[in-house]
Structure 1
Amino acid sequence: MAVSSKHIPAPDKHPVRRALLSVSDKTGLVDFARRLCAHGVELISTGGTARTLADAGLPVRDVADITGFPEIMDGRVKTLHPAVHGALLGIRDDADHAAAMREHGIEGIDLVVVNLYPFEDVRLSGADTDTVIENIDIGGPAMIRAAAKNHAYTAIVTDGQDYDAVLDELDNHNGSLTLAFRRTLAARAYARTAAYDTAIANWFADTLDVAMPSWRSVAGKLHTSMRYGENPHQQAGFYLTGERRYGVATADIVQGKQLSYNNINDTDAAYELVAEFDPETNAAVAIIKHANPCGVALGGSVKEAYERALACDPVSAFGGIVALNRPLDAEAAAEIIKIFTEVIIAPEATPEARAIVAQKKNLRLLVAGGLPDPRAGGLTVRSVAGGMLVQSRDNAVFAQEDLQVVTRRRPTEQELRDMRFAFCVAKHVKSNAIVYVRDGVTVGIGAGQMSRVDSARIAAQKAGDAAQAAALSQSLVKGCVVASDAFFPFADGLLSAIEAGAIAVIQPGGSIRDDEVIAAADENNVAMAVTGMRHFRH
């Protein structure tokens, strides 16, 4: 049942006379508190925060002086007291509230500065359950929510990045904070506690192995506001969720323009793809355009892998994203900058490579610090009208022993290697996906078609165009392997690939017409292996 309001108007400006400071992260705290004192603000604090302020020579009252009650239970209970929450929640212009405050000796608190126990960091550190639970803050969120609710009189700061803005407001308004500013801080405060509670709820779900809890929250902290989204009329921002996964979120942007929405989306797709391939075994390069690969290749060096990937579709590669599974070196950098490229992302880059890339001032170079684990768990989230779809990340990798050859002709060892490579690439191509591969290089990719037959034809056409650009006598699809992200519902898709020149195929299998598809392969002396694993990507 809703509680009625007395409709007491909030003051446009409210002076800050008393401030309660209780922070876990003490960065910038002393300078901020010193400036508050210069405005005549009385400081109240707790535990370690109070000691930090006192050690800096600042006058500070311990919260126990306000409550008349000491901290107990290892600090679990210190601010959960009417003397604190009455001071935060009291409506100063309400006669009943003011009378209650006078009766109980409660003096209002005008500013609360709280940042929370580092639960998000601790839960990701591998700490034991007891340690994680001890880092669930109780008093902090309670004070934040109380102050935010009563922002008409109590300002709430939850982020040290807001210290300067608070001080500017006090300087500009003779020691007061405006209602508009207090309301902005309140909005940020509720967003902070929502994200904090989300982290706690998701940790419990993970700990209890509840894949799809009854309530699912998603939260992130704004990393970058963008000029626009996929199109200029759309607004966009890049938020960090706290997941420890190498990629755009962890990357140091060495140089180049600000990343756009599409840049980030495509760069993530490219880096997740190359991470499928062990850098100790082969260099791998993926060139991505509109979240789809236009060329992927393995090589003995990054330069070799890049040149082979580029040859797959040199036209589409123009203005693309280049992802590497090994550090960017000078040789590779010199090749990549020969055509217009939007972004290069790699685990690291040599000083020589950085200097070469610097010749192209608008080219973004991202150093991610490592490769994402393709087998690690995690969630993907997509919005739909009125809701969101949540699923576990597609981290499945088929085992060699699970690969079942279903045709009379068995694939050769080279064909098997190309099959594994092609199927890994197909996992990262929009469905329906067809990928032609020869000698560890994609030679044709068909993506995102409504018909698998169309994907096969488009991939073959792409291969033919690339062969013509390279002045080859015939398409590299002749004698290649082909991968399909899902089963062939009819033999026509397979026959289209065979007509293009494929001699071996890898696909999940599982169609009610598998016998028909296998028979078509046998009739054309084509080797076929099934994985039993589908990789739709929409």
Structure 2
Amino acid sequence: MTDAPLPVRRALISVSDKTGIVPFATFLAGLGVELVSTGGTARALREAGLAVRDVAELSGFPEILDGRVKTLVPQVHGGLLARRDDPHHMAALSAHGIGPIDLLAVNLYPFEATVAEGRGFDDCVENIDIGGPALIRAAAKNHDFVAVLTAPAHLAEVRQALMQHGGTTLALRRRLAAEAYARTAAYDAAIARWFSSANEVAFPPRVAFAGSLVQTLRYGENPHQAAAFYRTDGRAGVATAEQVQGKELSYNNIADTDAAYECVSEFDAPAIVIVKHANPCGVAVAGTLAEAWDAALRCDPVSAFGGIVAANRALDEAAAEKIAAIFTEVVIAPDATAAARAVFARKKNLRLLLAGALPDPAQPGLAYRSVSGGFLAQTRDAGRVDAASLRVVTKRAPTEAELADLVFAFRVAKHVKSNAIVYAKNRATVGIGAGQMSRVDSARIAAWKSAEAAKAAGLAEPLAKGSVVASDAFFPFADGLISAAEAGATAVIQPGGSMRDAEVITAADERGLAMVFTSMRHFRH
């Protein structure tokens, strides 16, 4: 085997996505390359005036079973798999009248797109490609001699190589082979996931998943860690967003932006979420985004500096002016008006992401987390509570205003690292305690932050005065609830289920608090 570029004398082209294929085939024909093709690709090339040899002519065997069998023949796979430096291989080709194939351009039936469109079971099955993956794997295995092109982007690369070197280099063929195997692996993973879902198997014996590289990142959580960003299932969010302006996103930027956008999608009214280090530090809903921003910022203006901001509808100029008034790393929203974009354009380093849509909080699917030697898988936390699902456990029932704030606070708590305590008033957070080892510590930190925010706003009383409080899990002792009452909370929402529920309920009754149980926990680790 030599490292010298290898010429292309015969190419097999059979593509579902025909982007750029006619100019590429025309280029090959100009080099004297024999073109072999099938079905619709052959028709497209002939319509462009190119001479094309059908695979059926090459093999002496027609397409059968409505095209299910057309390239699964020795005349094709022998031409792809024969080693040119092995005399026995070449003698076998000669004996059977098989010519070598030096280049394969194949992309697969659009199975993933068919599933995404919600097509029926039979349509999805018919879009499972058989011959394509077999061709790709054969060509990739014999990459010492065959170039395999599995995406429209590869056409320009190979064309450049042929123009520059007169052939394909070994380094190029090896890279294309690696991408080819990744493509067939991703394709099979998508089929396996779909079959598991169709059979209502949540956790199959083997799990395969794949992603497409969006970008390599400057580094990971820390500068000594390498990192990259991949797109998977196309769920609306940071992975599908267009970056309109600003510096390159970092690993931490993407993680925090995802946390903010998932949280803001919980609300129907205009909402703003500000995230810092994976935790919301201010959340509010209001009549306008500008009003929601003011309320969210009031919760913790210190932490909001250098934070991530998410909105659940198109950003307007008024909201953009307020957001741009402080240092902000990333802003994400479904869209932004031209006036809002112009405001953000004045902040050259601010990253503006427009996702086109919101993630659906109730969308099913699995979430994964790596552990040493494996990974954990669980269904997404799609749980949501509303006023009708709550159970009043105290002597006093919450007022209508308290009830609205309780539902709001619990939805925010779902997105705060456990142990999570969230104080809220008028559908805005006024104190958040996150990630503490003790729930009572989270309650105290949230109260302290409420007091500090009040001082910053020049108010005499802590923001938590007259608020409601949400806990992502039950209070194991009454001390956490007592701390919330001392901070000024008047109503409590929590899952319930503690051995000491009666003690906690008594403590609430003694202080005149209303309390409701959700029977749903929202741990977030």
Partner AA of 2:304 in structure 1: A
Partner AA of 1:238 in structure 2: F
Contact 2:247 2:350 in 1 (8 A): yes
Q: Which moved more, 1:359-368 or 1:43-52?
A: 359-368
Partner AA of 2:26 in structure 1: R
Matches within 5 A, 1:176-215: 176-215=167-206
Aligned partner of 2:210 in structure 1 is 219
Match among 47, 63, 66 for residue 74 of structure 1: 66
Aligned partner of 2:240 in structure 1 is 250
Q: CA RMSD in A?
A: 1.2
Partner AA of 1:423 in structure 2: F
Q: TM-score, normalised by structure 1?
A: 0.96
Q: Which moved more, 1:183-192 or 1:163-172?
A: 163-172
Aligned partner of 2:345 in structure 1 is 358
Aligned partner of 2:224 in structure 1 is 233
Matches within 5 A, 1:146-161: 146-161=138-153
Distance 1:102 1:506 in 2: 79
2:408 counterpart SS class: helix
Aligned partner of 1:108 in structure 2 is 100
Q: Deviations over 1:94-131 (max 9, x none)?
A: 12212211111111111100000111101010111111
Matches within 5 A, 1:446-485: 446-485=433-472
1:380 counterpart SS class: strand
Match among 311, 316, 319 for residue 329 of structure 1: 316
- Per-residue deviation, 1:258: 2.0
Q: Please state if 1:261 is matched with 2:251.
A: yes
Aligned partner of 1:512 in structure 2 is 499
Q: Which moved more, 1:160-169 or 1:505-514?
A: 160-169
- Per-residue deviation, 1:325: 1.4
Distance 1:91 1:368 in 2: 48
- Per-residue deviation, 1:450: 0.9
Q: Please state if 1:29 is matched with 2:21.
A: yes
Q: Which moved more, 1:368-377 or 1:207-216?
A: 368-377
Partner AA of 2:256 in structure 1: D
Q: Please state if 1:443 is matched with 2:449.
A: no
Partner AA of 2:397 in structure 1: R
Distance 1:102 1:26 in 2: 33
1:250 counterpart SS class: coil
Long gaps (5+) in structure 2: none
- Per-residue deviation, 1:456: 0.8
Distance 2:485 2:61 in 1: 82
Q: Please state if 1:341 is matched with 2:328.
A: yes
Partner AA of 1:54 in structure 2: R
Contact 2:387 2:403 in 1 (8 A): no
1:389 counterpart SS class: strand
- Per-residue deviation, 1:12: 4.6
Contact 1:120 1:242 in 2 (8 A): no
Partner AA of 2:18 in structure 1: K
1:199 counterpart SS class: helix
Matches within 5 A, 1:111-190: 111-174=103-166, 176-190=167-181
Distance 1:393 1:331 in 2: 35
Identity %: 64
Q: Please state if 1:427 is matched with 2:427.
A: no
Matches within 5 A, 1:24-63: 24-63=16-55
Q: Deviations over 1:468-522 (max 9, x none)?
A: 0001001011221110001111112212222222221100001111111111112
Distance 1:459 1:242 in 2: 36
Q: How many residues align?
A: 525
- Per-residue deviation, 1:259: 1.8
Q: Deviations over 1:308-358 (max 9, x none)?
A: 100100010011111111211111111111001111111221111111111
Partner AA of 1:537 in structure 2: R
Q: Which moved more, 1:464-473 or 1:35-44?
A: 35-44
Partner AA of 2:219 in structure 1: Y
Q: Please state if 1:303 is matched with 2:304.
A: no
Aligned partner of 1:531 in structure 2 is 518
Q: Please state if 1:416 is matched with 2:399.
A: no
Contact 1:433 1:447 in 2 (8 A): yes
2:432 counterpart SS class: strand
Q: Please state if 1:277 is matched with 2:264.
A: no
Aligned partner of 1:5 in structure 2 is none
> Structure 1 residues 10, 507: CA separation in 2 closer, same or farther (over 3 Å shift)?
farther
Q: Deviations over 1:232-285 (max 9, x none)?
A: 222222111133x2211222222222222211111111111111111xxx2111
Contact 1:342 1:363 in 2 (8 A): yes
Contact 2:102 2:147 in 1 (8 A): yes
2:266 counterpart SS class: coil
Distance 1:11 1:343 in 2: 47
Q: Please state if 1:98 is matched with 2:85.
A: no
Q: Which moved more, 1:342-351 or 1:300-309?
A: 342-351
1:223 counterpart SS class: strand
Q: Deviations over 1:423-475 (max 9, x none)?
A: 00000001110001111110000111111111111111111110000010010
Distance 2:271 2:160 in 1: 51
Distance 2:65 2:138 in 1: 23
Partner AA of 1:21 in structure 2: I
Partner AA of 1:276 in structure 2: E
Distance 2:270 2:160 in 1: 53
Distance 2:161 2:326 in 1: 50
Match among 471, 481, 484 for residue 497 of structure 1: 484
Q: Which moved more, 1:109-118 or 1:341-350?
A: 341-350
Q: Deviations over 1:52-111 (max 9, x none)?
A: 111111221111111111111111110000110111111121122122111111111111
Aligned partner of 1:4 in structure 2 is none
Distance 1:253 1:54 in 2: 41
Contact 2:425 2:464 in 1 (8 A): yes
Distance 2:428 2:133 in 1: 54
Partner AA of 2:44 in structure 1: T
- Per-residue deviation, 1:15: 2.2
Partner AA of 2:259 in structure 1: A
1:131 counterpart SS class: helix
- Per-residue deviation, 1:14: 2.5
Partner AA of 2:417 in structure 1: K
Partner AA of 1:88 in structure 2: L
2:195 counterpart SS class: helix
Partner AA of 2:315 in structure 1: L
Contact 1:88 1:146 in 2 (8 A): yes
Partner AA of 1:473 in structure 2: A
Distance 2:386 2:423 in 1: 21
- Per-residue deviation, 1:399: 3.9
Q: Which moved more, 1:12-21 or 1:308-317?
A: 12-21
Distance 2:51 2:251 in 1: 48
Distance 2:11 2:294 in 1: 62
1:237 counterpart SS class: strand
